[in-house]
Amino acid sequence: MIKPKLLVTGNFTPGDLVVSVSPSNLVVLDSVKEDINQIWESTLQKAQEKNLNLYNGTSYRLNSLKQESGKVYLDFGIMDFKTRFGLREALPKIDFDETMYRNGCYVGATVKTSDDKYLMVKLSGKSMNRNSNDVLGGIMETNIEMSSEYIFKVLHTELKEEAGVEELEIKNTTLKAIYQGMYTNIGFYLETELSISSDEILKRFKSNSDVDVVGIEVYSYEQYLEVLKNHNENKGLIYDLVIGK
């Protein structure tokens, strides 16, 4: 585990992003590959026994990041879930440097409703996410075409799947920060404001089809800050961003 750190902060829209996809520059030693295979097989067996959701899909990892002349240049590679998952346990067993960081990408957002409430999700425990609750968002998978709007589309897709929010009900979304997380993944933190109330969100959740989410948690601003502050180091970093520290 490493200490989370901010890589970029600002108020970015899709027009501020320049994206590309290249072969992954992740370094994985042969001995680590063997460890990853063993970790995956063991985890897969346990997941099947407990009827958990675990499959070896593909997601994006960050190859490089550069901020220049008001633009953020992002180059992504592709990584399978098995490697992304296995490296979390495999890396602490060896001496590793930044060339071996997972850099697996995910989005997470502060979501504010029209009645000034803040949303989080309560998780089922059936996915790779080990938290019991979390901000809305998810892994940046390869099922959405890469473009300057990609990060925003991923979040909007997650808002639909997790909370039933339609895209027309999203007043605005801003990319506020990119950070290195405590387990060497890359978080894209966004803030979004909705034109619908928390009551409407809760009503819609009754027909939710996302098996990874079992509930929507609604907080006042003060309650939301308290949850972030006491969650984990990554959410502590988000706490600082929310209060403008």
**Cα distance between the two ends of the chain:** 23
pLDDT (tens place) for every residue of the chain, 245 residues total? 788 999 999 999 999 999 999 999 999 999 999 999 999 999 888 877 777 777 789 999 999 999 999 999 999 999 999 999 999 999 999 999 999 999 999 999 999 999 999 999 987 666 555 667 889 999 999 999 999 999 999 999 999 989 999 999 999 999 999 999 999 999 999 999 999 999 999 998 876 666 677 889 999 999 999 999 988 788 888 999 999 86
Distance CA 157, CA 150 (A): 10
SS3 158: helix
Amino acid at 205: F
Q: Under the phi-then-psi rule, with left for phi > 0, alpha for psi from -120 to 50, and beta for the rest, what region is 18?
A: beta
Please state the pTM of the whole predicted model.
Answer: 0.93
Distance CA 194, CA 137 (A): 15
What values do phi and psi take at 93, rounded to 5? -85, -10
Give the count of domains, the chain: 1
Distance CA 150, CA 147 (A): 5
CATH number, position 113: 3.90.79.10
Task: Check: CB of residue 187 under 8 Å from CB of residue 178.
Answer: yes
Task: State which residues form the domain around 29.
Answer: 5-242
Task: Check: CB of residue 105 under 8 Å from CB of residue 188.
Answer: yes
